[in-house]
Structure 1
Amino acid sequence: MLNERKKAIFLDRDGTINVDKDYLYRIEDFQFEPKADEALKILYDLGYVLIIVTNQSGIARGYYSEEDVEILHQDLSKILQEKGIEISKFYYCPHHPTKGVGKYKTDCECRKPNPGMLLKGIEEFSIDTSLSYMVGDKKSDVDAGLKAGVTSIFLNNGKEEVPKDLSENILVFKSLYDFAIFLKNK
């Protein structure tokens, strides 16, 4: 079918897929969260379009370039392809409203909790929001998902307190792997 709507998993990167290291931009510093690569394989095998949506204020602050982030994402994509996983798209926000330098100092629609990156993915890949999820370890991830009309998943990996004002319909898991097993068994 030409106009078939697809289901997607929108994924935060740092703290969700990889260990959150301040301003990560080199593949040699990349380390998967426990079983995150296995989780991605499960989600991919379940037929979800996998889309990364990541705030990268290190670009805005001048710590590294957009090219550095794109190289990291190309390297990560190759590693995942070797494991039988395809990331359909990496979206990143290079802006910061107060800490940005030059053209990157802006309050934009792409920086989570705004839904801009998700909305681009929904349009570009003809995503059915009723079948799709946003997974992340911060309230800004959850909020972006809600604003984009997808089900939000909060990863309570112990690094950030579970926000007290989370909606009761937000699902909470300890890890991306636990969420993947939940979907597999659904």
Structure 2
Amino acid sequence: MSPKTSKLIILDRDGVINEDRDDYVKSRDEWIPIPNSLDAIALLSQAGYVLTIATNQSGIARGLYSLSELHAMHQKMIDLLKPLGGRIDGIFFCPHVDEDLCECRKPKSGLMQEIAKRYLKDRANLDLPLKNISIVGDSLRDLVAGTKLGASPHLVLTGKGHKVKDAELPEGTKTHADLMAFTKYILSTS
């Protein structure tokens, strides 16, 4: 069963939900939530939103961590969300580097297409399947990947967000201090 399209939200991971690192988040211990990010996800979950993650994880191709370590990081996130009443409905990741020329590495839209196929099967508009869907990221590549398919871009100033806030952002980009500020905005406008 597909959710109401306006109830789907796509989140980037590093720099949006958890602290980002220049040397990559490589282990469960290095995966540290940004203050209030898990509470924000819990609020969205409790309001009936379907929450997905679309994340580039080139550390796998670079040999910095394994697929099982990536799953351990995600399990930590899920375990921390559970007592708060929050959940992530789907996690989509690209394990490649830019040189692999894959279709799933953001800013390409392969991950977004996979999310649309899974959660928006009955969308009439196949050219812009993410129309009216919010995508939240801290980098230009996060936002571009979703806006190619019609998503509404939301930049958070955590992670790398403060570095790109003055860049040429996709048209209609809304800027928020963090994931909690985005959550309050979405809940106040829905």
Deviation string for 1:144-185 (max 9, x for gaps)?
110122111111236423143113411111111111001111
Counterpart position of 2:187: 184
Counterpart position of 1:142: 143
Farther off after superposition, 149-158 or 2-11: 2-11
Equivalent residue runs for 1:116-135 within 5 Å = 116-126=110-120, 129-135=130-136
Equivalent of residue 172 in structure 2, options 156, 169, 172: 169
Deviation string for 1:44-90 (max 9, x for gaps)?
12221110111011111111112211221122112212221111111
C-alpha distance in structure 2 between counterparts of 1:46 and 1:57, whole Å: 33
Report the AA paired with residue 67 of structure 1. Answer: S
Equivalent residue runs for 1:27-46 within 5 Å = 27-46=28-47
Counterpart position of 2:126: none
C-alpha distance in structure 2 between counterparts of 1:97 and 1:45, whole Å: 37
Counterpart position of 1:110: 104
Does the alignment pair 1:94 with 2:67?
no
C-alpha distance in structure 2 between counterparts of 1:16 and 1:117, whole Å: 17
Contact 2:3 2:50 in 1 (8 A): no
Equivalent residue runs for 1:18-33 within 5 Å = 18-21=18-21, 22-33=23-34
C-alpha distance in structure 2 between counterparts of 1:168 and 1:63, whole Å: 35
* Total equivalences in the alignment: 178
TM-score (norm 1): 0.87
Contact 1:40 1:85 in 2 (8 A): yes
C-alpha distance in structure 1 between counterparts of 2:25 and 2:3, whole Å: 36
Counterpart position of 1:102: none
Give the ranges of 4+ consecutive aligned residues of structure 1 lying more than 3 Å apart after TM superposition.
Answer: 2-6
Contact 2:156 2:175 in 1 (8 A): yes
- How big is the alpha-carbon RMSD for the aligned residues of Structure 1 and Structure 2? 1.8
1:3, distance to aligned residue in structure 2 (A): 5.7
SS in 2 for 1:110: coil
Report the AA paired with residue 79 of structure 2. Answer: K
C-alpha distance in structure 2 between counterparts of 1:4 and 1:164, whole Å: 33
1:23, distance to aligned residue in structure 2 (A): 1.6
TM-score (norm 2): 0.86
* Long gaps (5+) in structure 1: 99-105
